[in-house]
Chain A
């Protein structure tokens, strides 16, 4: 087939983008992670496995990301269900707009909002003191529960939107038929709704997991000094210790972990990345 000039016009910028900005930098990341003191070495990865603080943080980050993803799913399912199957059609569009709006606002602003709500001199403490429910202010920031709440908050949208779109495709008459045949509510959820929503649950979970795992802002600001999020370790190696090779190794570990989990998720549900992306 003869290729027109247009083909090259389309191909060139795309190739430049993908090879110069995606492939080469990540190859560089991989190479640098195997170098120490100007020579090839496994030292950077050795440090990771011998220093408990590093691999513990790594495991902790992974585990909390899984928990956060699950909590996000639990919170989002009823909301998506309400919007698609219970709200009046006229209200539906309005609810969707309302749902999307906060997520257009910078993550930093949202986290800051939680900080002035929850900190010791924060708004929530003020109200609780005024109501007499507390005697002296409590620091609600800087603990794991708050950090997870913050992570759920920042990533909810990426769960709700795929759930809403997949639930919109659920034919009401399937639910009616199940009900007519004698199924209870729990049974309808288990046998009809959840199986139908599987693709949405998968893509939502993958995106949320990835975003939580790679989040820096929320653990850093809401988890405080003890947040021990792996991205912070990477940041410290790069900015504070200036040990870029070590940081590269950490970065590569995180990349492998997130790719692995995503690959597993796709494998288990038999989907392809292209389908999930759209």
Chain B
């Protein structure tokens, strides 16, 4: 039944077979994508026609590798900028929210906490259209009343940042709160007792204690932003992020360049994820 109980060989085997199949299922699409990024063929499919780096390096005219493809490179750059802005602002507001919900008491706290959790249960698509609608309404209002045309209120780079920020902050808040809950507040009291101000205490003691969870949640926020599709879809303007750009290419037919971009994404996210995990372990 479990490890500490005697089990039949067939029982163990069937479990192992199931789990192996599960992992094959889990990795097959990723593996195929990576392998076909190096196939010397004009389509991302078998048969294998030999190893090539064309889909990374070629500069035309027949094949254009990812590093020579201005369209995809720009999308990567846009996604990167978006993710930096989103993760930075999410961490700042998320840490504030964690302190607010863990260390302060005020009327309406429960209601605010419930609102903070709401983005978890609002489908990303709905969040996208709501923010699009809200921004548009605000834009019309500003234009009618003050004759101001503000770019933020139209689908644009900054609207994407705002849209992603609105739900990723919840995740940062939850991660930092969980860590803050384990914090021994007598450490703060000791520091106050030794003559530190409240702000100094937070800076030197509490934030230092939270450091790994802040870095970790920042990394997660970066990844979530970099890969977000559902919410971004409705907010994107003339600067598509990488997932949107890839989506348009996948929908219109595929070339191995998509594989090479995917390969880079898989390697990049795996490294970031492993780094994050390593940080977690060190705790």
Contacts and interface: CB of A to CB of B under 8 A. Distances in A.
User: Are A and B direct contacts in the complex by CB distance below 8 Å?
Assistant: yes
Interface of A: 1, 3-4, 6-7, 9-11, 13-15, 17-18, 21-26, 28-29, 32, 75, 78-79, 82, 85-88, 95, 97-102, 104-117, 121-123, 126-127, 153, 156, 172, 175-176, 179, 185, 188, 206-207, 210-211, 213-217, 220-221, 231, 234-235, 238-239, 244, 247-248, 251, 254-255, 258-259, 262, 273-274, 277-278
Contact of B227 (A23, A108, A156, A221): A108
Contacts, number: 260
Interface string B87-104: 000001100110110001
B29 A110 contact: yes
Contacts of B27: 102
Interface string B128-140: 0111111111000
Nearest to A253: B126
B270 A104 contact: yes
21 contacts: A1-B105, A9-B96, A10-B99, A13-B92, A18-B116, A25-B131, A78-B15, A79-B22, A85-B3, A107-B227, A109-B33, A113-B29, A116-B45, A123-B45, A175-B2, A185-B1, A214-B126, A234-B129, A254-B125, A273-B114, A277-B117
A210 B3 contact: no
Given A82-B16, A107-B229, A117-B32, 7 more contacts: A87-B3, A97-B274, A101-B273, A104-B223, A112-B250, A221-B247, A247-B129
A11 B33 contact: no
A25 B262 CA distance: 34
B30 interface: yes
B4 A116 contact: no
Contacts of A3: 106
B73 interface: no
Nearest to B251: A221
B210 interface: no
Contact of A26 (B130, B137, B246): B130
Contacts of B78: none
A46 to B, nearest CB: 20
A11 to B, nearest CB: 6
> For chain A, what secondary structure do more than half of its interface residues adopt (helix, strand, loop), or is it mixed?
helix
Nearest to B123: A214
Contacts of A239: 234
Contacts of B174: 277-278
A6 B199 contact: yes
Nearest to A88: B3
Interface string B6-27: 0000001001101100110111
The 3 closest A-B pairs by CB, nearest first: A214-B123, A113-B29, A25-B134
B30 A214 contact: no
A139 B203 CA distance: 60
A258 B99 CA distance: 30
B26 to A, nearest CB: 5
A216 B125 contact: yes
Contact of A251 (B2, B28, B129): B129
Contacts of A75: 22
Contacts of B129: 29, 234, 238, 247-248, 251
A278 B181 CA distance: 12
A115 B45 CA distance: 10
Nearest to B23: A98
B118 interface: yes
Contact of B269 (A105, A216, A254, A258): A105
A97 B277 contact: yes
Nearest to B166: A21
B233 A216 contact: yes
Contacts of A211: 123
Contacts of B112: 14-15, 18
Interface in B215-248: 223, 226-227, 229-230, 233-234, 243, 246-247
